[in-house]
């Protein structure tokens, strides 16, 4: 397995996650009233890296970056959309899954991060359904193999053409000696609840399953002859478009529920997700509200989040008119981009340090505004976007630490970052020569409401205090109060409260220690400690399925010179070490 | 990492799981009324393999085989025991954890199976508490490091001496670049519910945590000065010994509840777990009710279970007097030994085929007897033993298939094996030249009562029918009926019903196919498909934690030539690939 980095086709050194529909090479996004259509028509020559062609609608990270972008745009730019149709622009194939040559040539770190991102994209499709009522229908005419079928599994409804050849399959085990790791196995057992012995048969059958049996085994939701396909699609689209959108349950103090509802139905017009403005230099990455500074010798990336420079809006109309410049949305998009950049482009970074600058009260004001307007589509979408970004942080395989210093604004939504960190340090009192008041943190309703819940379905506070329900009650009582370091420590909200004398040494030693440990053992440690308590399909995908896939990606049976992934397409059979473990 | 097999110190070719207290080299078992004491005093020179000394009460699989045996004996031979004290026989150390030199020299398959067995032993300690009311108190005077603390975590109550040096620690990440994989991370977060940032600190601190902080962070339950240790132990033992034993809730048709209760308190005398009688040849392993036949060319082990040769007993006294020869107990012990033998000694076996011989009604009769006597300690222990053996099968990393043929007796408890299999094949009708009646399977109360629940907390039937509640209802209605192949298939209880014409070819092709796949991808596939639905601490340990550990065990940062596990104790620092994945 070549661990040499593949070369980006763009000739640049970094993978860029920013795109827009005019630049898509692989997807075509069309909007027709309440129905959006996303057509997958992969440009064979449009691979992210050099060295492979994206045949048969197979995909690499570049294809998935466009898909993720498309769903973001549907939700923000076209909130009127109730149904997304996923279709293929090629005959006889829906999607052949992840490109094998890309996988065979990718570094272990890229393979793992590619799988993680594609899983997040599939989860976002499901989040659009659960959170925004955007139902996705996947139309399979031809073959949907491996990652192609995994993409279909993210949809609410799968229509399979019953023409004797269209099929769904997960041929990873027989063909490639790896797993259907983009949520495939988990969605088969936990979403579609396919009987386990049928799942075993299905996942070991290269050619997959067609027609009636696919429906009977619940691998798809309906089958239709080709001649009736368009009318079946139209019928389902019409049905799903008529479903009422989900609204969050009314919250205390929300007010004017009826008015909000009326407003949504009456004035439903999107906002433009304008391009992120970024200044990139060797050691920094500067957005408007987010900056990243790299200390590559120490293997640390410091992300500083800045609070809003405008007060929270006076009205929904003002929020909408601010659009992509609206602080909570802009900072979320910038933070998301920064995290992805570190994940894929800065593999040597051991720890991400989070800092913030601003007024805690300003953050709480914005949170209150979003709570009060919680029934407005844009307020709802911004919360859901934050939920996804925070989950992305939870699932980022780097040590996460929050430093809470004078002048910081870890309140409300931003306090979630403190709770997402593996550890947090808070400075007691003021610094010599710094007349800013001592650091404060503050919780808001948003930290307890579940609107920013983790993948395990619990709030970060709940997860933190699984063993200390009384601490959870104390946190609830502290909503809206700004807490100093010693109080925050007593309440269990931060790991350590330190005075200025100890601060620098403690942090330095911690970061040095983190950089000295085996990156792999830290990945395993953090993946286990971050998710106490219940499990969901999402946590199963990111913890169980991903861990097994990572293991298999290291095994010579898959990625060794004679492994199945390496020999795929060569005409030579793989050679296996037959010992079971 | 040397993948060459280590040599067994015994000079034999197979690891033997059978032992008894007279043969223990590492543990001393003492019984004093309701309190059993298990003293860990490892014989340095008593390693299972050659090439390492078991210093500082460190352990290998051999030490754990004795521990597992000791708990079995406490439950069956000394049912009067209510409390087990786990103590060290050595000064200044409770247990230093798994032996590093053993780990560094072990094959990947042995490391993984060693971890699996030790996890099962820890789970059995917890099962003794939950199922039998046997409370375990772990007394730590000195250091409990790594696997030593993980052993303590399996106890109900941990007493730590507060003497300025006794400590608990999980130093795997900083010292060895691996995880505390014997349930450590999961028990920290999900059993003891330690706050995640404290857990992060604890798991990255080589020297661990002592005294008051250990109690405050819930890493231990109480601390005591050395001078008060014995009185603290006596007080806790007295307290726990007074707890009422758990009884299963009364079941319909159980009858004479009061009498049963009185009986237990009055006549509580154990039975002797006599040595298993085994005849071992190159190709076979024959017990009284279990036979294993190896087809090493095909990489298949066939396990045949035989039904009882006596009718079910007429009374509790008769059950007790049969003792270890009582069919349900004997077959469970034999099956357990056979499974462990395959796991550790027959690494090349790809698939385990389960067959059975006997009268289905005889199995149902025994099940009914055990149900009716469910409040008797021995009936309860036998059920709990079966529950553990079946879980061991669920967690066995080989393809499992049940073949249901004329003359078989997959009914009640034995039907669980069909439900545990990845696939099952049932023959329709009779075979030419075989006048036995067509194959039948039958469900009993035991398949639905939850008494043989999987690690996920559900019955195998419930797990199977997560997506088909109506099939679960049908199964309930079929209790006690013998079902032929076609009915069983329609009910969803077997994967395929085949007639004699197709049988041989289908099975042969399936087994050949299984042997042709990558063993690793099958391990990952099966670990994911077998456990749909909810997760528990146990499933987290076997799926999430184990998968991450397996991955790490393959990474050069741990097991490469310059990895931490390989360099441990050499004085040379490990060298890490610093890229995070």
pLDDT in tens, B352-387: 999 999 999 999 999 999 999 999 999 999 999 999
Q: What is the average pLDDT value for chain B, to the nearest integer?
A: 94
CB contact under 8 A, A190 and B532: yes
- The pLDDT tens digits for B512-546 are 999 999 999 999 999 999 999 999 999 999 999 99
CB nearest to B578's CB, from A172, A467, A519: A519
How many CB atoms sit inside 10 A of residue B265's CB? 8
Q: What is the pLDDT of residue A264?
A: 45
Query: Which whole number is the average pLDDT over A2-19?
Result: 84
Is residue B553 helix, strand or coil?
helix
Distances in whole angstroms, Cα of residue B78 to Cα of each of B131, B322, B326, B331, B574: 15, 17, 17, 21, 48
Percent of chain B with pLDDT over 70: 95
Q: How confident is the model at residue A258 (pLDDT cuts 50, 70, 90)?
A: very low
Judging contacts by C-beta atoms under 8 Å, the chain A residues touching residue B347 are 579-581
> For residue A243, what pLDDT band results from cuts at 50, 70 and 90?
confident
Contact A380, A142 (CB under 8 A): no
A534–B533 CB contact, under 8 Å = no
Q: What number is the average pLDDT over the span A70-99? A: 98
Distance between CA A547 and CA B524 in Å, rounded?
A: 9
Q: How many CB pairs under 8 A join A and B?
A: 291
> Is B135's Cβ below 8 Å from some Cβ in A?
no
Q: What is the pLDDT of residues A357-404, one digit of tens each?
A: 999 999 999 999 999 999 999 999 999 999 999 999 999 999 999 999
Residue pLDDT, tens place only, B37-95: 999 999 999 999 999 999 999 999 999 999 999 999 999 999 999 999 999 999 999 99
What residues in B contact A200, CB-CB < 8 Å?
422-423, 495, 525-526, 529
pLDDT in tens, A302-315: 999 999 999 999 99
Contact B564, B209 (CB under 8 A): no
In this complex, the residue of B526, B540, B578 whose CB is nearest that of residue A348 is B578
Min Cα separation B208/chain A (Å): 15
Instruction: Answer whether A467 sits within 8 Å of B193, measured CB to CB.
Output: yes
pLDDT surpassing 70 at residue A220:
yes
Interface contact flag, A581 B192, Cβ < 8 Å: no
Closest-CA distance of chain B to residue A530, Å: 7
* Candidates B424, B492, B579; nearest CB to A109: B579
User: Are the beta carbons of A532 and B196 separated by less than 8 Å?
Assistant: yes
pLDDT beyond 60 at B480? yes
How far is B5 from chain A, CA to nearest CA, in Å?
12
How near does any CA of chain B get to the CA of A418, in Å?
11
Please give the Cα distance from B208 to B198 (Å, whole number).
Answer: 12
**Residue A520: which of B195, B522, B558 has the nearest Cβ?**
B558
Using DSSP bridges, classify how beta strands A93-95 and B97-98 pair: parallel, antiparallel or unpaired.
Answer: unpaired
Q: Between chains, do A193 and B423 touch, taking CB under 8 Å as contact? A: no
Residues of chain A neighbouring B532 (CB-CB closer than 8 A): 189-190, 193, 196
Residue among A348, A520, A532 minimizing CB distance to B193: A532
Across the interface, of B192, B515, B544, the residue whose CB is closest to A528 is B544
Q: What per-residue confidence (pLDDT) applies to A103? A: 95
Spatial separation of the C-alpha atoms in residues B531 and A190, rounded to whole Å: 9
Tens of pLDDT, residue by residue over A106-130, are: 999 999 999 999 999 999 999 999 9
Structure tokens at A418: 């403190």
Task: Give the distance from residue B333's alpha carbon to the nearest chain A alpha carbon, in angstroms.
Answer: 23
- The residue written with tokens 């393809």 in the block is B399
Model confidence pLDDT, tens digit, residues A455-486: 999 999 999 999 999 999 999 999 999 999 99
Flag whether residue A534 sits within 8 Å of chain B, measured between CB atoms. yes
Mean pLDDT of A218-222: 98
Which chain B residue's Cα is nearest to A114?
B581
The pLDDT of residue B246 is above 90: no
Please list every residue in chain A whose beta carbon sits closer than 8 Å to the beta carbon of residue B299. Answer: 578
What's the pLDDT score for residue B2? Answer: 38
- Optimal mutation site among A426, A518, A545, A553, interface B, most CBs of chain B within 10 A: A518
A560 at interface of B, judged by CB pairs closer than 8 A: no
Core vs surface per residue B522-545: b (16+ CB within 10 A) or e? bbbbbbbbbbbbebbbbbbbbbbb
| Best A347, A544, A574 residue to mutate vs chain B (most B CBs within 10 Å) | A544
Nearest to B201 among A190, A423, A521 (CB): A423
Report the C-alpha gap between B517 and A563 in whole angstroms.
11
Between CA A351 and CA A489 the distance in angstroms is 22
Inter-chain CB proximity A197 and B577 less than 8 Å? no
Q: What percentage of chain A exceeds 90 in pLDDT?
A: 93
| More reliable by pLDDT, A2 or A23 | A23
**For position B581, what pLDDT does the model report?**
86
How sure is the predictor about B257, in pLDDT bands with cuts at 50, 70 and 90?
very low
Residue A581: the pLDDT is 86
| pLDDT greater at residue B252 or residue B189 | B189
Chain B environment of A531 (Cβ under 8 Å): 189
Q: How far is it, in rounded angstroms, from Cα B101 to Cα B50?
A: 10
Could you say which of B199, B532, B554 has the minimum Cβ distance to residue A529?
B199
Top pLDDT among B445 and A250 is at B445
* Count of CB atoms situated within 10 Å of the CB of B321: 12
Query: Could you give the percent of chain B with pLDDT greater than 90?
Result: 93
What global pTM score does this model have? 0.95
CB contact under 8 A, A578 and B189: no
Mean pLDDT across chain A? 94
Q: Is the pLDDT of residue A256 over 70?
A: no
User: Which residues in B465-493 are b (16+ Cβ under 10 Å) and which e?
Assistant: bbbbeebbeebeebeeebbbbebbbebbb
pLDDT at position A5 is 65
Interface of B with A in 186-245 (CB under 8 A): 186, 188-190, 192-201, 203-204, 218
Mean of the pLDDT values across residues B251-275? 58
Contact B581, A519 (CB under 8 A): yes
Mean pLDDT of A523-536: 96
Strand partners, A159: A139, A222
For residue A294, the SS3 value is: strand
Would you place residue A262 in the very low, low, confident or very high pLDDT band (cuts 50, 70, 90)? very low
> A576 to chain B nearest CA, in Å?
6
pLDDT of residue B392: 98
**What are the tens digits of pLDDT across the range A289-346?**
999 999 999 999 999 999 999 999 999 999 999 999 999 999 999 999 999 999 999 9
State whether B523 and A576 contact (CB < 8 Å).
Answer: no
What single DSSP character describes residue B78?
-
B555 interfaces chain A, CB cutoff of 8 Å: yes
> How far separated are the first and last CA of chain A, in Å rounded?
22
Give yes or no for residue B258 having a pLDDT over 60. Answer: no
Question: Does residue B287 have a pLDDT over 60?
Answer: yes
Instruction: Examine the pLDDT at B253 and tell me if it is beyond 90.
Output: no
How far, in Å, CA of A391 to CA of B334, rounded?
47
Nearest by CB: B576 against A178, A518, A528: A518
A557 — contact with chain B (CB < 8 Å)?
A: yes
Residue A350 contacts B where some CB pair is shorter than 8 Å: yes
pLDDT higher than threshold 60 for residue A536: yes
First to last CA, chain B: 22
Smallest Cβ distance to A113: which of B190, B525, B581? B581
pLDDT at A502 over 90: yes
The alpha-carbon gap from B491 to the nearest alpha carbon of chain A, in Å, equals: 12
The predicted model gives A561-569 an average pLDDT of: 93
């Amino acid at each position: 397995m070549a661990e040499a980095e593949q070369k980006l086709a763009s000739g640049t050194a970094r993978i860029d996650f920013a795109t827009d529909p005019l630049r898509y090479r692989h997807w075509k996004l069309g909007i027709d009233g309440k129905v959006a259509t996303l057509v997958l028509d992969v440009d064979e020559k449009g691979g992210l890296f050099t060295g492979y062609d994206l045949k048969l609608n197979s995909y690499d990270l570049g294809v998935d970056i466009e898909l993720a972008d498309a769903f973001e745009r549907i939700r923000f730019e076209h909130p009127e959309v109730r149904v997304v149709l996923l279709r293929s622009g090629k005959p006889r194939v829906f999607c052949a899954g992840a490109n094998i040559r890309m996988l065979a040539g990718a570094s272990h770190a890229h393979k793992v991060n590619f799988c993680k991102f594609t899983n997040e994209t599939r989860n976002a499709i499901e989040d659009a359904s659960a959170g925004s009522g955007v139902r996705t229908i996947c139309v399979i005419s031809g073959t949907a193999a491996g990652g192609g079928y995994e993409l279909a599994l993210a949809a609410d409804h799968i229509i399979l053409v019953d023409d004797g050849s269209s099929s769904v399959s997960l041929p990873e085990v027989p063909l490639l000696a790896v797993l259907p790791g983009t949520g495939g196995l988990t969605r088969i057992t936990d979403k579609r609840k396919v009987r386990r012995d049928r799942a075993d048969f299905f996942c070991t059958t290269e050619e997959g399953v067609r027609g009636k049996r696919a429906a009977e085994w619940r691998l798809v939701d309906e089958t239709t002859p080709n001649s009736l396909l368009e009318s079946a699609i139209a019928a389902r689209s019409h049905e799903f478009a008529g479903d009422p959108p989900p609204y969050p349950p009314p919250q205390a103090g929300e007010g004017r529920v009826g008015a909000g509802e009326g407003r949504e139905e009456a004035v439903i017009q999107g906002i433009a997700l304008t391009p992120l403005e970024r200044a990139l230099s060797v050691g920094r990455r500067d957005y408007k509200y987010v900056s990243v500074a790299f200390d590559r010798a120490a293997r640390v990336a410091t992300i500083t989040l800045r609070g809003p420079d405008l007060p929270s809006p006076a009205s929904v109309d003002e929020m909408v008119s601010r659009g992509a410049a609206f602080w909570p949305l802009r900072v979320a998009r910038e933070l998301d981009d920064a995290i992805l950049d570190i994940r894929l482009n800065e593999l040597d970074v051991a720890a991400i340090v989070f800092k913030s600058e601003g007024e805690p009260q300003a953050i709480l004001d914005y949170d209150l505004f979003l709570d009060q307007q919680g029934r407005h589509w844009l307020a709802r979408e911004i919360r859901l976007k934050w939920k996804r970004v925070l989950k992305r942080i939870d699932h980022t395989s780097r040590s996460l630490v929050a430093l809470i210093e004078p002048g910081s604004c870890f309140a409300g939504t931003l306090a979630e970052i403190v709770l997402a960190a593996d550890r947090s340090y808070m400075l007691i009192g003021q610094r010599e020569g710094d007349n800013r008041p001592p650091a404060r943190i503050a919780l808001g309703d948003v930290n307890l409401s579940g609107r920013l819940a983790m993948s395990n379905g619990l709030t970060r506070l709940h997860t933190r205090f699984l063993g200390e329900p009384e601490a959870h009650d104390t946190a609830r009582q502290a909503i809206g109060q700004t807490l100093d370091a010693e109080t925050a420590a007593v309440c269990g909200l931060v790991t350590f409260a330190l005075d200025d004398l100890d601060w620098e040494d403690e942090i330095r030693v911690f970061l040095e220690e983190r950089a000295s440990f085996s990156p792999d053992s830290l990945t395993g440690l953090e993946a286990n400690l971050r998710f106490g308590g219940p499990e969901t399909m999402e946590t199963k995908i990111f913890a169980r399925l991903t861990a097994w896939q990572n293991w298999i990606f290291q095994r010579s049976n898959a990625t060794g010179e004679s492994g199945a992934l390496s020999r795929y397409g060569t005409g030579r059979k793989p050679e296996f070490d037959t010992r079971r473990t």
